[in-house]
Structure 1
Amino acid sequence: MAHEQDPAVEVEEQFESSRRFLDIWLIQLRDPLFSAKAQGPSSQHLSQACHVVVAPTEQDNPMGLLQTPNTAFTKLGTLLVYLVNDIDRQAKQMEEHLFPGLMTFGEDAGAASGESGEGALQIELSRFLPTLLEAQVRLAQLGAAAGNLLGQLGALCAEQLRKATILQGVHARTAFRGLARALGTMVRLDCLAAQNAHIPHAFAMFKRLLANGTSGTATPASEPEPSAAALRETMAKLEEQFASRSLFRRFVGMHSARGSQTVEACSSPSFLNATAGIIKQEVVAVMGRLDSYQERPGDRGDLVDLLALAVLYSRLCSDEAPFDRKTMRLVLEIHQRVPVLPVFSGALLHIASFLSQNLPPSLDTIVPPTYVRQAVALRETQLQTLVDDLDGFVHSSALASAAWLAQIDGLIFPHRSQEASVTRLAGALLRGLHLAASLKARAQLVIQLHALQKAPLSRACLRQLSHLLTLIKGLQDACNRQQVSIAEALPPTITHMKSGAQGLLAATSASVRLAQKRAQTERPRLQSAARREKLQAALRDAQTAAGAAQELIQGPLRKVVCTALETCIDALEATGQVAALDLDRLHDTLYALESLTYFQGNMARATDCSFLYFNLEILGAALSEACARPEEARKLPYMLAAFLDGHRLLGTYSGSAGPSHEALDAELLGIMEKGLLQWLCQEVQRDLRLHLHASREPRLSLDSSAAALHSAAPLLRLPPIPLHTRALCISDYVERHLERSFYNHAALTPADWQTYCLLASLAQERFGLHVQAPALPEHQLSEGVDVLELLSSVRSFAAHFAYDLPGQHFVERVGAAREVKHLRTLGMNQVAAAIRTHGMGLADNAVNVTYQFLARKVNMLSEFLLQDAVRARLSKEAFDFESGRSAGGSAPYSMAAAQRLTADFRRLGSAPDGLPNLDHLRHLITEIGNAMGLVRLVRAGSMQFLAAALQQVSGSGHSQAPTCFAEAAADNGAWPASDAHIAAAKRLDACLRDLQARSSHSSDYLAMLVHVFAKEMSGPSHSHLSTFHVLVPALTMNMVEASLLAKEALGRQWRVGSPDAAFTDDGFALGLAYILQVLQQNAGYDALQWSSAVLQHYDRERSTIASAAGQATRASAERAGIGQWLSGLVLREGKEEALAAEKENAALLLTKADRSSAEHKLLSDTLACARACFCHVHA
């Protein structure tokens, strides 16, 4: 093929183009790369948006790779390479596309609708059908390739063909491994189908759906249903392949049945001996590497393949060609070292059960009857041994990982390409790959054995497992961080290793040529011509194989090239002219070349922890360890990254509505919240509250605050952890939680908003959390107390609220408040909003309820004044005052008379509620005034609502009649209105007329309530109320004393023990004015001239106090002048102290008189304003 380019030139051009691309790309990324290295390891590197991958372009056709003078070797080698490469390609495609779907099929459907839910499983199976059909085709190709390869190996080992080729069956290791790979793939499919119970159930329900769908449709007999029949046939074939769990058994049974061509070709003792030798050699090699840092990523998978090949071997053996006992004993004893083997992700192969179910009865002589039971019992001992050795294994693995990380960081450095560095780099990369594989195998084995034995994981074991997962993902993170440098260093490293392999092959070829020359020149005496001819043929074959390998190694490495190289090395081994040590070096070099060529993919598979997708509960248990050891917080991103590998199963689950990435992220976040984040939020919030409490209590010492800071700070300093569909930032989560918590608490207790603002600022100071202060929305009075609730309990409202007459609103009393720091209010806007919500009937309802309340209270007032002692005392007081006026005097009612009347009432005892009589009467009048204030407030709110409502209607003024919308709708000729439009217009007109009528009349509810009781009280049965006005002075004095005490209590710091604290209580004045108006005693009260009497009394009291203070000052001055010569006497000191006390007492009396006078003046003015509310009412 002269037109093809030389392979050496091709590889040089490929390497040069890759080098130029990397140089240009590295120039652009050099600065960001150095900055990333300076930052050190971080969890952000575990999931990067851009990956640099160095991998060759694959070529599946091996034609033309082997060009040798030996035509038989060229043809046979090309055929074997083609079959092995085809098996590898089909197996890889099924592992990437079919296996994840089989693992996760039906999970969401079973969770959503249960095991018996047909709809979800049928829909999911229909969406999964394209993947199954593609896998069916690939499985057929895999079976055909495996059958062909089995036949070729059988023919290769036949006696009549052994001299026709240099590649003898006993040395065809590559071909046997390819056959084992095909058989292992079938075993994996059977294991996956056996593990997922949804698959056969889905096929059964889908067939029932097809039967119901076709039987229910009536079609003519002449019209067949080819599509339905074809679908049923296809579903039957798919069910037989993927739900029967017998792919491997059918293949083995088909090719081991007596009379088949395969048995005829493969039943020879030479083939069986070659197969046994390959199995023994491979098992010994793999078992020697297991559980050590030399374990390769595919070793445990190779054991699955070898077990499948051993079963086929045992089935092909017969009485004429018995099985090799040593080989089969070696296979049967595998479970003593490895109890279970990972098939794919979380699926397992139970070695003892698999062998006992598939080995033929002829092996009963070496398989004990209790083989499976012994294996099951041995698992407990193996699990305990693994748990006991886990601590030491983790410790040594941590040391090995640290050493590898330090070595890889030192070797991968820009502008460093010496030969020694390249050699050490290749060895370091391989050691890292083997280390990751051994760590993953140990962690997977421990977890799956615990799940298989249903044994709980201890806290120590959980801690060690979390360390193992951290080490695994730490190795992956190191490769991700150095991926640019690794991508830059891999091509020269591979080129250098290829040069080494070429040197080995060249040395081998040179030794063979030397042996050929020696054989031609030297002829031993005792050597026959046949033996000389055989030796020369072997040397020629060795030279041919070495030359073919040299040509292959010069070109670019691909999977098919590696398979061809392995075939050439097998041919070299078959000649027997190459030393075993040289062959081992060639095998190791070829393995290293293949591993480094696909290093990034191999490392990703070696650190793939997708098996944890089926063990998510371990994350919750491991998080409890993270809470107990917060100093190890940096391990959390790596541990979470291990559980995020489950997305790889979902990412390749194409063509089905299986578990979604969002669902997995949500489940992981739920586990994180339950196991860590909620605890962290509680810990931070508790620390903040304790610290704030300690700052307010200096004597309190809280050592736990430092412990909380030590436990929470490492977790809060973690960078954002990338998930698949979102990112988790622990500090942001805690900030949002604190913001919600502070806002909710501040909304429930608005008076404590400043406390939560302090906690927010304290979070910034102690933990660096940027927590927004709880900014509550502005409060609206219209959104406060429910008016309907108050009207349903007017009695409670009148007793628990204080009325402010000028501001026309109510304030809740401190003693009746639900909490001391928050008092409810009721104002005009709230009433207007309530009327807007409930309608104008609310005002009428308020008047009716108030009327019933007033009837009870006025009756109580009448009964109080009807008492003989009260009536007699008031009658005498009124008679004395009228007698003084009839004698020609015009003096007002004196303060002394009011004080005597107060003293008389105190001597009368207490009311039924335990209060003094005057206090009881004051409370009664205050409640009456509060009820009248509520009526006044409702009237004002209704007027406000009517004014606001009428502003929205055009022509709604008092001087203009409102528009008739019904007539306008009926007279519209251009657009005639329907009946519904006219009915709506009439309803609108009625509403507007009602608003107009209410706003024009504006019912005076106060006058109504005055008239209804004035008629009743004017009769002779209530004559005892005629002296009520005489009691007003004593009541005002009692009210002034109560007001002074309430305002003093309001000014104190702690108001918990002062339920009567208030700044206003105008309900007493309004109630007093209402009673005077109802009893028609305003003139009698005015005749008392009580206001002027109070002013005169306090003027005289102030003058008396001032004169007494002046006399004391003058006496002090006189004594000071007389007693200068007695300055040393003790008597003078005592008198001076007495004079100072007299002055202080006079000042206190003057202050008290001023406050009492001001309070009397305020009450008098408030009473005048309250009486003005009834000035237009004529009883």
Structure 2
Amino acid sequence: MDEADVVAYNTLTDQYLKKFGNFIENHFCTLVRTVSEDACRGSSGRANGNLSSSSGDYSSSDVSTTAGEQSTNSVTLHTSSHHIWNNLLHPIKLRWTPIAESANFEELTCIPHPLDGNPDVQKVMLVLVTITNQARSLKEVGYRTFLQAILLYGDGYDSDSGSSSEAPSLAETEGEGHVSIARLIPLLLELLEFIQECTEFVGHWMLQLAALFKESKPHVVAISNLQLYTVFKELSDLLGFLVILDEVIRSQVVLQEHWLKYRQMIKSVRADSRSFDTEAGNLVQLDRDLIQIDKYILSANIFRNFVDSVLQQNHRYFSRNLVLAEKFQSFLITLASNLDKDFVNHTEEFRPVSLAATYIFAAFLFPAGFDTKRQFQKVMLEHLRRIQAVAITGSHIWLPEVFFTSCVQGNGSKLFDSRAIQSISSSRQSFLQQKVSSLAKDKGIQYSSWALRLQEVLFMKELSGINMADLSRKCTLIVEGTKLAQNLSQNFRLILNLHASMGKPIGKNVVVHLCQMLELLKSIQGTFFQFNVRLCCSTMYIVQYVMHTALVHIRAAQKSILNMSDNRKVDETRADALSVLKILEHCLRGSISGKRLLVAQIALDWASSSNRFWRDDETSMILPAAMDRIDQLVNLERSVDHYCNCSLVYFHRVILSTYFSSLYVNPQDSSKLPLIFLIIRDCLALLRGSPHSEHAERVFMADIESYLKTQFIERLCQDVETDLRILSHTHLQVEAVDPVSPFRSGVKELENIMEIPNFSSDNVNNVSMKSIVEHYMSKTFYNLASVALHDWQSYATMRVLAWDKYKLHILDDHLPGHSLEQGRDILEIVRNLPQFVAEFTYNLNNQVFVQVNSPNKHLDTVNIRHLANSLRTHGPGMANTTINFTYRFLRSKIHNLSQFLYDEQIKSRLSKDIRLFKQSYQEPTAAAQNYTYATLLFDRAMKFKKGIRKLGLTQDGLSPLDQFRILISHIGNALGFVRLVRSGGSHFLAGGYQFVPDLQDITLFSELVESATELEPSSWSNDIKSAAVGIDSAIKTLSNSFSDGIDYFKLLVNAFQPTLLDARNSHLKNFYGIIPALTLSYVDHMRLSKEKLAKRSKSSTIFTDDGFPMGVAYLLKVLNQGADFDSLSWFSNVELYLLRERNTALQAIQDSKKDEKLQQANTLTARRLLDVLHEFQLVRYNLSSARIFFHQDNAKPANNNAKNTNSD
């Protein structure tokens, strides 16, 4: 390039760069402003657009805006301690990728060649580029299509996977394994075809290279020093992929198990194909395919079978080609010499696998081409000792000694020293310890330093004012970031997989360091995204500058070759070099695409073989460095995404449990929690390629939720609750028994955790620590306050403290205040009414229920005040609820009563007694005859009682009559509870109504406000008027409730009376005849209970049971038998009988003064009769009081003899 061309070239370049820089800077400002405004206001809109440069030769990027996925949470772009840069939460994103090349390889290589060039170079270059591109394509297809599906097969089957979730395993379903492997067979057949395609391709590749590097002359191009590193490297990477595929299949235990079961099933079906309605021909073809899959794939010998197939097909064409063997040796030496730099410095982590695969491949193809043992010792062994192992994919690891031993199958002595190769494993333990110890180095400081320096150089000048030194600094920092990410990623995977492979437990500190490495990876990815716009613009300038530099040196190299003196020995090599440099220059003059970059790399390899023709060594150093830098910058985004992908955590998810616990112990690090969920998002993206993606995702997320809940959320909620309880009791001035010093134990700053912004693993279900704690507190406070309502004030205080300290908005429980003297809650009693009436006895006069027995040293009571407080809690409407439940209870009890009276033995005895009573009452009413009638009544009642007792007793010694009495007592207790509720409601309403001066004349506050407003309109606001209306409404509601005159007893009577008085229930008409016997049973029961109470017996504490007279009074009213019972004059006649008997006993005492024993017996008899008389009188009074509640307006007239009796 002459001086004029250089000036013109530089002028056009400067003009284009200035114009393009102004264009990008304007759009950069617009993008930053749009993104900032949208993110700061939490906009959920989507922005779509397209930014593309004007046509030019130096554009090496496709810059476009893509609509990012939105989240419901607001994301701020300002720097904060909790901010996480997540590219999926932003509406606009710039992508930096190589453009799609429309030209084919022929157009890129077949260009006008220089006058002194070799036209055959273009043809050779086209072949080399094509086969290299095909090797790269096959490798990418293999990784993308087959490796991931096989790697993830069986998720959900393996019970030893470490999953702690409760999600059901797929293995629980019978035959699911057969179905899964059947679904995988099409993919395995494709893999079989893929391997065959690779075999044919590599055979073709070897033939092409053997034709190029043939031993006999003439040669198409000069081959003496020709080194095609890129061509051999792509073949080596393809061979390495086959080795990795073998390792994955060999470790797939579930796949192997399912495969064996499926083969056995097919054999069974073939033996009886008719039963399965299957054609035998199809089964034969299927079995052949399965045999092929088993032999070439699932045997995990893909690489060895591949090498054998290549040898069988084309071995005779190239096995004795010493030139090609020499090229393989040179490539292995070059690859091994760069192994330490590429692998140890984390540039090419799969390079050792490719190197070992290529060595085995070359050793088998060229058995006589080179001394394999010497080459192995010299080239590989020392380097492999320093590498020890390679983390390939998933949780799998590649071990050199295992690979070489499995490949050679007994022929290892010809290829390498077995002792030497086995010695590699001896130092693996120390290698792992060295790797673990290196984790202590603070990578966080390196990241922080790099991020600050990157931000400084990106924003220190406007884009239009940058110079070459600034571009050099930016380029250095960009590459430094990718190297740091690659270093962290490789160390993380290598350490974890080595621990899993060697079966060594991982210490807690090591787990924490490893997870911190993951955080740094996501932070690096976030930093690149944060400065995405600036990086895209700066990278354009850097690439264009590097391309310009490379073109200048290419022109210089061409000029130096042309100026060389004429020498026939170097004419061919010089012509080849000129042609190759021309192709390289042509590729760099266009926009960098994947195809151009590949052609340029192969052309550079070719040109570098002829660098001795260049005048100085500067060009030979600058051109390779420039091409490497262009490759790094063009694939920057792809490299960052690859290195920062943390999907390996899916296979080692258990470490997250330890890390969640570590984050909670150190709340100052809690801001890193959203970074972990970005890692989980990578795992979910990996699982989308699983054959069981839905189940695998469900199990994985169940594990993560379990770890987060147990190790972080539950502890957080409990500690916040404990802290609030302690704060709510600080006013008590109580000294702690063992005071905790914050200087010794530290203080957890839980406020930092509350400030963590919402995060998510799928941008749909957001996780908010603040909301989780609020929900837990609201639920806990409600549950505890509903159990102990008297603690409502404590929880109200804790609710205020939660807002003051943690800014937690805990919902109000809306439970009413509770008092300590409320006793049993009315709602609890009504729900368990049958149990209540059985455990409590009723006192009619004091309106109190007393517990019968209690395991405690006290008895519970329920009185009017208790129910008034309970109604204050639940409202007066509980009275209606009580009536409804009581009605249901009475319906069941009256049904039992009807069944008892329907019994023939009971019914016949009652009919006989009633008929006898009526006949006896027709006698004259003389005093003696009255005593005779009274004796008859008492004797018949006693005889009835004893006769019923003969029908049988319960285990507690109760006769059917006693059980019938208890049933009536339960009915009376239920009615007594209704009365108590009514009284408690009146008590409650009276407490609220005591502030109203006059119940009859209620003054309306709204009228007073209106009259006052007419006098002074400006002094009365609308709020005061609304308050007055509210007061009037409350007083009116209170007044209506207080004056409610509903007779609940009347409702319960009217509910049952029509049915019970129906002719179908005629057996109930004799109920009044059993009352005398019931009263005898009741009196004996009360006397016995009081005697036990006097003796301080713990088995019975009954001293009152007014439920019985209450129940009798209700049944007399419902059955309309009040007058019939009065006609018996039972209580007056029994009183007459008992008085006569007592007088007889007293007279006997006077007559038996001389006989002391007989006197004592008569005294006890007189005392017993007096006690019985008192009990009968108490029953009579209580029954008379109870019958007052049930009016006698509708009672039917008594018989003719009723007028001669005394009403009780």
Alignment TM class, shorter chain as reference: 0.5 to 0.7
Find the counterpart in structure 2 of residue 354 from structure 1.
Answer: 403
Q: Does 1:255 align with 2:296?
A: no
Find the counterpart in structure 2 of residue 146 from structure 1.
Answer: 202
Which of 155, 161, 168 is 2:211 aligned to?
155
User: Distance between the aligned counterparts of 1:236 and 1:651, measured in 2?
Assistant: 30
Asked if the contact 2:802–2:808 (Cα under 8 Å) also holds between the matched residues in 1, the reply is yes
Alignment deviations for residues 974-1020 of structure 1 (CA, whole Å, 9 cap, x no partner): xxxxxxxxxxxxxxxxxx9999524889999999998744467699x
Which of 566, 578, 598 is 1:543 aligned to?
578
Deviation at residue 264 of structure 1 after TM alignment: 3.5
Find the counterpart in structure 2 of residue 630 from structure 1.
Answer: 667
Letter in 2 for 1:271: L
Deviation at residue 217 of structure 1 after TM alignment: 4.9
Taking a change above 3 Å as real, the CA distance of residues 210 and 838 of structure 1, as seen in their structure-2 partners, is: farther
Asked if the contact 1:167–1:574 (Cα under 8 Å) also holds between the matched residues in 2, the reply is no
Which of 552, 567, 582 is 2:587 aligned to?
552
User: Distance between the aligned counterparts of 1:407 and 1:162, measured in 2?
Assistant: 57
Deviation at residue 478 of structure 1 after TM alignment: 0.8
Q: Does 1:399 align with 2:445?
A: yes
Deviation at residue 750 of structure 1 after TM alignment: 3.7
Taking a change above 3 Å as real, the CA distance of residues 1018 and 611 of structure 1, as seen in their structure-2 partners, is: closer
Asked if the contact 2:687–2:693 (Cα under 8 Å) also holds between the matched residues in 1, the reply is no
Deviation at residue 174 of structure 1 after TM alignment: 1.1
Find the counterpart in structure 2 of residue 774 from structure 1.
Answer: 813
Find the counterpart in structure 1 of residue 332 from structure 2.
Answer: 279
User: Distance between the aligned counterparts of 1:1024 and 1:659, measured in 2?
Assistant: 69
Find the counterpart in structure 1 of residue 798 from structure 2.
Answer: 759
User: Distance between the aligned counterparts of 1:843 and 1:720, measured in 2?
Assistant: 62
Q: Does 1:650 align with 2:687?
A: yes
Find the counterpart in structure 1 of residue 944 from structure 2.
Answer: none
Find the counterpart in structure 1 of residue 105 from structure 2.
Answer: 62
User: Distance between the aligned counterparts of 1:314 and 1:304, measured in 2?
Assistant: 15
Find the counterpart in structure 2 of residue 491 from structure 1.
Answer: 540
Aligned pair count reads: 912
Q: Does 1:505 align with 2:554?
A: yes
Letter in 1 for 2:446: A
Asked if the contact 2:657–2:711 (Cα under 8 Å) also holds between the matched residues in 1, the reply is yes
Map of 1:233-272 to 2, 5 A cutoff? 233-256=288-311, 261-272=314-325
Letter in 1 for 2:679: A
Taking a change above 3 Å as real, the CA distance of residues 108 and 137 of structure 1, as seen in their structure-2 partners, is: same
Taking a change above 3 Å as real, the CA distance of residues 786 and 166 of structure 1, as seen in their structure-2 partners, is: farther
Deviation at residue 143 of structure 1 after TM alignment: 3.0
Q: Does 1:840 align with 2:895?
A: no
Q: Does 1:30 align with 2:68?
A: no
Alignment deviations for residues 408-428 of structure 1 (CA, whole Å, 9 cap, x no partner): 212333842413333322221
Asked if the contact 1:1017–1:1079 (Cα under 8 Å) also holds between the matched residues in 2, the reply is no
Letter in 2 for 1:685: E
Comparing 166-175 and 612-621, the one that deviates more: 166-175
Q: Does 1:570 align with 2:586?
A: no
Letter in 1 for 2:797: L
Asked if the contact 1:512–1:539 (Cα under 8 Å) also holds between the matched residues in 2, the reply is yes
Find the counterpart in structure 1 of residue 463 from structure 2.
Answer: 416
Comparing 22-31 and 537-546, the one that deviates more: 22-31
Asked if the contact 1:440–1:472 (Cα under 8 Å) also holds between the matched residues in 2, the reply is yes
Alignment deviations for residues 545-598 of structure 1 (CA, whole Å, 9 cap, x no partner): 222111111112122222211111121122232466533432221121112111
Question: Please, which runs of 5 or more residues in structure 1 have no aligned partner?
Answer: 1-6, 521-531, 851-924, 943-991, 1029-1059, 1086-1164
Deviation at residue 474 of structure 1 after TM alignment: 1.1
User: Distance between the aligned counterparts of 2:723 and 2:861, measured in 1?
Assistant: 31
Deviation at residue 538 of structure 1 after TM alignment: 2.5
Which of 727, 740, 750 is 1:691 aligned to?
727
Find the counterpart in structure 1 of residue 775 from structure 2.
Answer: 736
Deviation at residue 498 of structure 1 after TM alignment: 1.3
Q: What SS does the corresponding residue of 2:829 show, helix, strand or coil?
A: coil
Asked if the contact 2:785–2:791 (Cα under 8 Å) also holds between the matched residues in 1, the reply is yes
TM-score by length of 2: 0.66
Taking a change above 3 Å as real, the CA distance of residues 552 and 793 of structure 1, as seen in their structure-2 partners, is: closer
Which of 123, 137, 143 is 1:89 aligned to?
137
Deviation at residue 362 of structure 1 after TM alignment: 6.1
Asked if the contact 1:443–1:468 (Cα under 8 Å) also holds between the matched residues in 2, the reply is yes
Find the counterpart in structure 2 of residue 313 from structure 1.
Answer: 362
Q: Does 1:719 align with 2:768?
A: no
User: Distance between the aligned counterparts of 1:22 and 1:416, measured in 2?
Assistant: 6
Find the counterpart in structure 2 of residue 1032 from structure 1.
Answer: none
Asked if the contact 1:812–1:824 (Cα under 8 Å) also holds between the matched residues in 2, the reply is no
Letter in 1 for 2:130: Y
Q: What SS does the corresponding residue of 2:156 show, helix, strand or coil?
A: helix
User: Distance between the aligned counterparts of 1:821 and 1:782, measured in 2?
Assistant: 9
User: Distance between the aligned counterparts of 1:808 and 1:1001, measured in 2?
Assistant: 37
Alignment deviations for residues 1136-1165 of structure 1 (CA, whole Å, 9 cap, x no partner): xxxxxxxxxxxxxxxxxxxxxxxxxxxxx9
Comparing 52-61 and 400-409, the one that deviates more: 52-61
Taking a change above 3 Å as real, the CA distance of residues 1172 and 162 of structure 1, as seen in their structure-2 partners, is: farther
Alignment deviations for residues 186-245 of structure 1 (CA, whole Å, 9 cap, x no partner): 112111111212223333334444455566554999x96665555444444444443121
Taking a change above 3 Å as real, the CA distance of residues 11 and 1017 of structure 1, as seen in their structure-2 partners, is: same
Deviation at residue 723 of structure 1 after TM alignment: 0.3
User: Distance between the aligned counterparts of 1:91 and 1:700, measured in 2?
Assistant: 69
Asked if the contact 1:782–1:833 (Cα under 8 Å) also holds between the matched residues in 2, the reply is no
Taking a change above 3 Å as real, the CA distance of residues 999 and 758 of structure 1, as seen in their structure-2 partners, is: farther
Alignment deviations for residues 381-440 of structure 1 (CA, whole Å, 9 cap, x no partner): 212222223213xx1x22321121012212333842413333322221111111110111
Letter in 1 for 2:813: P
Asked if the contact 1:173–1:570 (Cα under 8 Å) also holds between the matched residues in 2, the reply is yes
Which of 185, 201, 209 is 2:257 aligned to?
201
Letter in 1 for 2:577: A
User: Distance between the aligned counterparts of 2:1084 and 2:674, measured in 1?
Assistant: 90
Map of 1:786-801 to 2, 5 A cutoff? 791=834, 794=837, 796-798=839-841
Map of 1:73-88 to 2, 5 A cutoff? 73-88=121-136
Q: Does 1:106 align with 2:154?
A: yes
Find the counterpart in structure 2 of residue 288 from structure 1.
Answer: 341
Find the counterpart in structure 2 of residue 597 from structure 1.
Answer: 634
Q: Does 1:459 align with 2:499?
A: no
Taking a change above 3 Å as real, the CA distance of residues 362 and 935 of structure 1, as seen in their structure-2 partners, is: closer
Q: What SS does the corresponding residue of 1:159 show, helix, strand or coil?
A: coil
Deviation at residue 87 of structure 1 after TM alignment: 1.4
Asked if the contact 2:454–2:477 (Cα under 8 Å) also holds between the matched residues in 1, the reply is yes
Letter in 2 for 1:255: V
Asked if the contact 1:753–1:774 (Cα under 8 Å) also holds between the matched residues in 2, the reply is no
Asked if the contact 1:186–1:247 (Cα under 8 Å) also holds between the matched residues in 2, the reply is yes
Asked if the contact 2:753–2:769 (Cα under 8 Å) also holds between the matched residues in 1, the reply is yes
Q: What SS does the corresponding residue of 2:106 show, helix, strand or coil?
A: coil
Asked if the contact 2:396–2:497 (Cα under 8 Å) also holds between the matched residues in 1, the reply is no
Q: What SS does the corresponding residue of 1:997 show, helix, strand or coil?
A: helix
Q: What SS does the corresponding residue of 2:518 show, helix, strand or coil?
A: helix
User: Distance between the aligned counterparts of 1:1024 and 1:421, measured in 2?
Assistant: 108
Q: What SS does the corresponding residue of 2:424 show, helix, strand or coil?
A: helix
Find the counterpart in structure 2 of residue 43 from structure 1.
Answer: 84
User: Distance between the aligned counterparts of 2:16 and 2:128, measured in 1?
Assistant: 30
Find the counterpart in structure 1 of residue 960 from structure 2.
Answer: none
Deviation at residue 168 of structure 1 after TM alignment: 5.4
Asked if the contact 1:637–1:721 (Cα under 8 Å) also holds between the matched residues in 2, the reply is yes
Cα RMSD between the aligned structures?
5.2
User: Distance between the aligned counterparts of 1:685 and 1:1005, measured in 2?
Assistant: 65
Map of 1:345-384 to 2, 5 A cutoff? 345-359=394-408, 364=413, 367-371=416-420, 374-384=423-433
Comparing 53-62 and 1165-1174, the one that deviates more: 1165-1174
Question: Please, which runs of 5 or more residues in structure 2 have no aligned partner?
Answer: 1-8, 41-75, 160-167, 819-823, 872-876, 902-964, 983-1053, 1088-1100, 1117-1124, 1137-1180, 1196-1206
User: Distance between the aligned counterparts of 2:688 and 2:325, measured in 1?
Assistant: 43
Letter in 2 for 1:740: K
User: Distance between the aligned counterparts of 2:433 and 2:1084, measured in 1?
Assistant: 103
Taking a change above 3 Å as real, the CA distance of residues 996 and 88 of structure 1, as seen in their structure-2 partners, is: farther
